[in-house]
A and B are shown apart, each in its own frame.
Chain A
Amino acid sequence: MRKFATLIVTAMAAVMLPAMAAQADDLIKVGFAQVGHESDWRTASTKSCQDVFSEANGYDLSFVDCDNDEAAQKEAVRSFIEQDVDYIIIDPIIATGWDTVLTECEDAGIPVIVIDRTIDDSDKYAAWVGSNFKTEGLAAGEWLAAYAAKQGIEELNVLTISGSTGSSAQIGRSDGFNEVAEKYGWNLIDEQTGDFTEAGGQEVMENYCKSYEGQFNVVVCQNDNEAFGAMTAMDNAGVTYGPGNDVILISYDACTAGLEEVKAGKITADFECNPLAAPFVEEVIKKLAAGEEVEKEVYMVEHWYALEDQIVDFEIDGEAQEMTLVTDEVIEAQY
């Protein structure tokens, strides 16, 4: 029994000592209130923050996983204020109801950096760092236009498997892609939600294959998991897809598993949604520390992936885009 007690005390000391030592040092204290852990993308986002704001880099990170509970998230931010951290990072679970909490942060003199999702009812934060979903949609559309021209495909009949209805990723990607589709006069046959899941993508595609048999040559999936599902459903319907086949398969997110399918010649092109916000946040923090002006909206750099034959030149609003060739090294380096 005594042995056991000693063991516990030793273990507690082992856990707590580094924490105490860290406090003694002159580290920059950062509090991060994360949404939760609902997807691979989210896990990559969390890991990115933990890697960048490590002790070795001179930071002391308090990380709170809010498990999709908006009340818990506001509590977490208040606890950061009590701990008197230097910077607060929030990935807001919902867009509204933030003004009071952010005012408290402002009164305490702690700059807030919002990442990924947006805050709509308050501007009391230093900067927002995230993806421009509409640009992703525009990129997919403009790439498709350039690729179809190169291949000599005249008529594009598009089926979309969209993400969770009303999510900012779904709205932005649909808006961007549909804008391009309208510009070129493509036929958008149908858009049903697959809820960002593989099972959802499978079921929607299974029904598309029966409802629109032989009537479509483009399938757009708003994340990789939906694309995996659509692939199974098209296999079972005897529809061929990918470079050089009947159907052009477009996907978003470009996670490791997605890039592997690009490499295997299944997904024709994959448009990244970068979860690694932390390096961009660190830049903002450095600027704030130096007393420099920071931009209110910081868009992350994102890549458009394809194999060599599918890499074509295209522009978004007059800006030339560069595509990334998928190789084993690229897949290895991806989150």
Chain B
Amino acid sequence: MNKKSTWAKIKGWSLFLPVMSIILVMAVNIIHDIAVGANPFSFFMITLRQTTGNGTILYGRIIDILNRGSEVAILAIGMTLVVSSSSGTDISVGSVMSLCASFCCMLLAGYGVSSTTTLAVPLIVGLLAGILLGVVCGMFNGTLVAYFGIQPMVATLILFSAARAIGLLLCNDLIVYVRNDSFGIFGGFCGVIPTPVIIAAICILVIAILLKKTALGMYIQSVGINSKASRIAGLNSKRIIFMTYLLCGLFAGIAGIVASSRITSADSNNIGLYFEMDAILAVALGGNSLGGGKFNLAGSIIGAYTIQAITTTLYALGVSSTQAPVFKAIIVILIVAIQAPPLKAYLKHRSNAKQLRGGAA
């Protein structure tokens, strides 16, 4: 009886399904490795590796997942808040990433310069300017949604199409290469750990503390559930919605800098391409309703890493990249379906019925 209640407790945990999903995705690798006669846990092995010119680093597929999933995880924080407060999504984050990266690299290289190894302005100026531009984009979206009452998807559609084009203008239609080690560190390694992992961890930590120590999380949820009632209760609904978009822009800026530092260049056409879709998907995979209101930040973060885990797993299995999207779609459908309310209700109903039968016997 006691044991069963522990299991029930685990099952009742709000993150049970997202966590189960990511574990199941990665477990596929164990089966595959056994089938090909390799070490069953080779996917999960983390070793220290001597690099060429980069010192010693942590090396392994799990590290890859944490590293490559960073940008989407960072975006997912902002997206979760936006979804919760405004019952809509910010589809401009991918383009804003590209714009911020372009602006940062344009400043670092100097306008019109397509390749450089020395910085035209101090590194910190470029980074802060890039991130600040993200905040400005967020404020623009926030103003349209909160104060002009435009539907989130329509409002953010403007920057979705314009931001990338502005970035191209800033870069003079070229890929701007900033081949400078001090800029490359944000997408490279800090000691043995990939820097993007650290940056993502800091972002998550700061927001988690902010939500826990202040009433902000509760305010956002209450605005999302019923903004009119929240206003009557004394909350400034508009300002709270505005703030979530601002934060979303801020995180898009940070993600843009990370993505650009990874390739030490501003590839305006490709940075953050389709990332808005991954960020929205991460929120959904985390068991959050896109209808707004209650949210679970940890779920979204796990969702973001689940997406990367699927990608890395497909590479590990050697699935051809032409077929990979099909498998990705199937896995996503399965994960979303098991979290769908009707299925959840059915499972609960069944377990209740079982309990009743057990009681009768």
Contact = CB atoms under 8 A, between A and B. Distances in A.
Contacts of A240: 52
Given A211-B318, A237-B59, A197 B267 contact: yes
Interface of A is mostly: helix
A190 interface: yes
Interface stretch (B11-19, B168-176, B297-305, B331-339): B168-176
Contact of B315 (A204, A235, A237): A204
Contact of A40 (B52, B174, B263, B318): B174
B238 interface: no
B57 interface: yes
B115 A257 contact: yes
Contacts of B231: none
Contacts of A199: 259, 262-263, 267, 270-271
Given A37-B168, A236-B54, A236-B57, A228 B318 contact: no
Contacts, number: 80
B103 to A, nearest CB: 18
A150 interface: no
Contacts of A211: 315-316, 318
Contact of A228 (B54, B68, B263, B269): B263
B2 interface: no
B322 interface: yes
A324 interface: no
B177 interface: yes
Interface residues of A, number: 35
Given A165-B322, A256-B115, A195 B54 contact: no
Contacts of B102: none
Contact of B316 (A198, A207, A228): A207
A216 B267 CA distance: 29
B107 to A, nearest CB: 20
A43 interface: yes
Interface in A182-223: 190-193, 195, 197-200, 202-204, 206-207, 210-211
Interface string B66-109: 00100000000000000000000000000000000000000000
A199 B311 CA distance: 14
A225 interface: yes
B312 interface: yes
A77 B250 CA distance: 42
A43 B315 contact: no
A36 to B, nearest CB: 9
A238 interface: yes
B54 A235 contact: yes
A42 B60 CA distance: 37
Interface in B259-318: 259, 262-263, 265, 267, 269-271, 312, 315-316, 318
Contacts of A151: none
Contacts of A225: 175, 267
B51 A236 contact: yes
Given A37-B173, A240-B52, A198 B59 contact: no
Contacts of B114: 40
Contact of B270 (A190, A197, A236, A257): A197
A223 B51 CA distance: 24
B50 interface: yes
Interface string A75-115: 00000000000000000000000000000000000000000
Contact of B321 (A38, A192, A206, A236): A192
Interface string B230-262: 000000000000000000000000000001001
B269 to A, nearest CB: 5
B64 A206 contact: yes
A94 to B, nearest CB: 18
Given A198-B263, A199-B267, A210-B61, A193 B322 contact: yes
A190 B173 contact: no
A174 B61 CA distance: 28
Contacts of B315: 192, 203-204, 207, 211
Contacts of A256: 115
Contacts of A37: 168, 173
A97 to B, nearest CB: 24
A235 B312 contact: no
A6 interface: no
Contact of B174 (A43, A191, A210, A239): A43
B269 A203 contact: no
B49 interface: yes
Contacts of B68: 203, 206
Nearest to A199: B263
B53 interface: yes
Nearest to A241: B52
Interface string B23-65: 0000000000000000000000000011111100101110010
Nearest to B173: A37
Given A192-B321, A207-B312, A211-B318, A235 B51 contact: yes
30 contacts: A37-B173, A38-B269, A39-B175, A40-B174, A43-B173, A43-B174, A165-B321, A191-B320, A192-B320, A193-B321, A195-B270, A198-B263, A199-B263, A199-B270, A199-B271, A204-B315, A206-B64, A206-B68, A207-B316, A210-B61, A210-B64, A211-B315, A225-B175, A229-B263, A234-B52, A235-B51, A235-B52, A235-B54, A238-B49, A257-B177
Rank and list the top 7 A-B pairs by shortest CB-CB distance, nearest first.
Answer: A207-B315, A198-B263, A192-B321, A193-B321, A37-B173, A235-B52, A197-B270
Given A190-B318, A202-B262, 16 more contacts: A40-B114, A40-B175, A43-B174, A192-B315, A197-B263, A197-B270, A199-B270, A203-B68, A204-B315, A204-B321, A206-B64, A207-B315, A207-B316, A211-B318, A229-B263, A235-B54
